[in-house]
Amino acid sequence: MSELKLINTYRSELQNYSLEQLRYISEEGVWSIGQMYDHLILVAREYLDNMETCATLKDKQPLGKTEFGEYLYKIGGFPPIKIKLPDELNTSPNNSDSKDDLISRMDQVILRLSQWESKVDNINANYKVEHGGFGWLNASEWYELVGMHFRHHLRQKDELEQRLVK
C-alpha cells in the first residue's frame, strides 16, 4: 500500500472514534488512540522536515546507513516488535486533541506527502540528513520512512481498538 493511501486510511478511520474513545487509556503505560495519532503526526512531520532539508543541501554526504538502517530498508519496514525509546525520547504524546484537530493535522501530513511524491526522487541521493538510529538517509529514504512508521503502528492500532469500550 502506498504511503498516501495508508495515511488516508488512518485519516478516514478517525471518523469511527468518539472523543472518549480517542482519549481512552486502558492502563498505565499504554497510549490512547489519540496519543498514537499524535505520535504518528509528530514523527511524520520530523521525517518530512528532514526530507525537505535534503532538498536544500549542497554538499554530498559519503556516509550511509547503520547496520540496522540497512536491515530496515532491506525488509521494507520495521520488524514486528515493540520498540521502546530511551526515557529522554519517550515523552507521552498529547492526549487532548479533538477529532477535528487530529484530522486537520493528518490533512497537513497528507498534503506535504502529496506535494513531494513526484519530486522526492529527483533530489540528489547523496544529500543526506542523519537519523539517530538508522544513519544517513536521503530524501527518498526519509519519505519512505513516513510510510514505514505508519505501517509499523498498524498492530498497535488494532490492539488499542480491541481495548476500547464499545
Q: Whole-model pTM?
A: 0.94
Burial 74-107 (b: 16+ CB within 10 A, else e): eeeeeeeeeeeeeeeeeeebbeebebeebbebbe
The predicted structure's pLDDT at residue 90: 67
Distance, in Å, from the CA atom of 56 to the CA atom of 95, rounded to the nearest integer, reads 34
**128 grid coordinates:** 543526506
The predicted structure's pLDDT at residue 166: 60
The distance of Cα 47 from the centroid of its chain, to the nearest Å, equals 7
Q: Say if residues 84 and 133 touch (Cβ distance below 8 Å).
A: no
| CATH number of the domain that residue 63 is part of | 1.20.120.450
The predicted structure's pLDDT at residue 91: 76
Supply φ then ψ for residue 136, to 5 degrees: -85, 120
Q: Say if residues 114 and 4 touch (Cβ distance below 8 Å).
A: yes
Range(s) of the domain holding residue 140: 3-163
The predicted structure's pLDDT at residue 89: 63
Side-chain half-sphere CA neighbours of 51 within 13 A: 24
Number of domains present in the structure of the chain: 1
Q: What is the pLDDT along the chain (166 residues), one digit of tens a residue?
A: 588 999 999 999 999 999 999 999 999 989 999 999 999 999 999 999 999 999 999 999 999 999 999 999 999 999 887 777 666 666 789 999 999 999 999 999 999 999 999 999 999 999 999 999 999 999 999 999 999 999 999 999 999 999 996 6
Distance, in Å, from the CA atom of 44 to the CA atom of 106, rounded to the nearest integer, reads 10
**55 grid coordinates:** 532538498
Q: Say if residues 102 and 37 touch (Cβ distance below 8 Å).
A: yes
